[in-house]
């Protein structure tokens, strides 16, 4: 029996990759076709859901501010444009529309990488190249409300992974990258104490006590200014262990200045 020829649309869809970390981009082989904004939102919604979505639901999610019939017309238009640029990328089922199983998405790759890091299953070569995949959020310039849950979920996952990766890289002796991983965690959430703690430990592992002290003082100041709270006991204990005399002297000086003022 002769093998059936592959459907052209399936072949093209199989070569397609969706980028949603940082900015939107769809790639097909060496081509980067321009995808209109409505079609961008449609394919991202379907790719994130990973299962069939009813057209009526898509219309309500993507165009909640307009009449339902008009929103459904927008879905049809966006679908036509998307299929024109990427044949086979969206399939129709009894249950609704879904992204083709051939479509790969950078978000899923980064999620898998993060889980490997958190389970301590990443070897040194993988750890050395992991940072770029965890450095940016899910479509940070999009202000669509339906994206917020997925964006926050991935941000929390990637920050946890960056903190753990910083520790792993220090253990491998990759101190520069350990610091970079810690810095990215702090940048993603400046008031997250565990991120500052990971960065402090990365500096200490490299022998840069002054930089670690600077990180602690920044954290202490930010927590006081923004939340009127002190660092946790774990962070304070590490700081006192490493910089006890320096911290105590600075606190006494501040107390003296405050009393005289």
pLDDT tens string 232-242: 989 988 998 88
Residues contacting residue 230 through CB under 8 Å, at least 6 positions apart: 220, 223, 224, 236
Domains recognised in the chain with CATH numbers: 14-102 (1.10.10.10), 109-260 (1.25.40.10)
Residues contacting residue 27 through CB under 8 Å, at least 6 positions apart: 16, 17, 19
pLDDT tens string 113-152: 999 999 999 998 999 999 999 999 999 999 999 999 999 9
pLDDT tens string 153-185: 999 999 999 999 999 999 999 999 999 999 999
| Residue 183 backbone dihedrals phi, psi, to 5 degrees | -65, -40
Confidence band of 217 (pLDDT split at 50, 70, 90): very high
pLDDT value at position 10?
A: 40
- Model-wide pTM > 0.85: yes
Q: With both helix axes pointing from N to C terminus, report the angle between 68-85 and 37-49 in degrees, rounded to the nearest 10.
A: 90
Of residues 2 and 48, more confidence is placed in: 48
pLDDT value at position 141?
A: 96
């Amino acid at each position: 029996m002769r093998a059936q020829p592959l459907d052209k649309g399936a072949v093209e869809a199989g070569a397609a990759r969706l980028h949603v970390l940082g900015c939107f981009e769809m790639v097909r082989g060496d081509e980067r076709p321009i995808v209109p904004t409505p079609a961008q939102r449609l394919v991202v919604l379907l790719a994130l859901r990973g299962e069939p979505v009813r057209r009526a639901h898509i219309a309500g999610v993507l165009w909640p501010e307009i009449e339902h019939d008009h929103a459904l017309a927008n879905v049809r238009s966006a679908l036509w444009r998307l299929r024109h640029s990427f044949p086979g990328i969206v399939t129709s089922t009894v249950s609704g529309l879904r992204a083709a199983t051939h479509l790969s998405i950078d978000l899923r790759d980064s999620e898998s990488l993060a889980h490997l890091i958190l389970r301590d299953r990443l070897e040194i070569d993988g750890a050395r190249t992991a940072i770029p995949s965890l450095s940016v959020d899910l479509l940070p310039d999009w202000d669509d409300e339906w994206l917020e849950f997925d964006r926050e979920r991935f941000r929390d996952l990637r920050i946890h992974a960056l903190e753990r990766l910083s520790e792993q890289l220090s253990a491998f002796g990759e101190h520069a990258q350990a610091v970079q991983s810690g810095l990215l965690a702090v940048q993603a959430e400046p008031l997250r104490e565990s991120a500052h703690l990971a960065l402090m430990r990365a500096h200490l592992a490299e022998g840069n006590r002054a930089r670690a002290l600077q990180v602690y003082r920044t954290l202490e100041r930010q927590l006081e200014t923004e939340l009127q709270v002190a660092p946790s006991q774990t962070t304070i204990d590490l700081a006192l262990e490493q910089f006890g005399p320096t911290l105590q002297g600075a606190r006494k000086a501040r107390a003296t200045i405050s009393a005289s003022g």
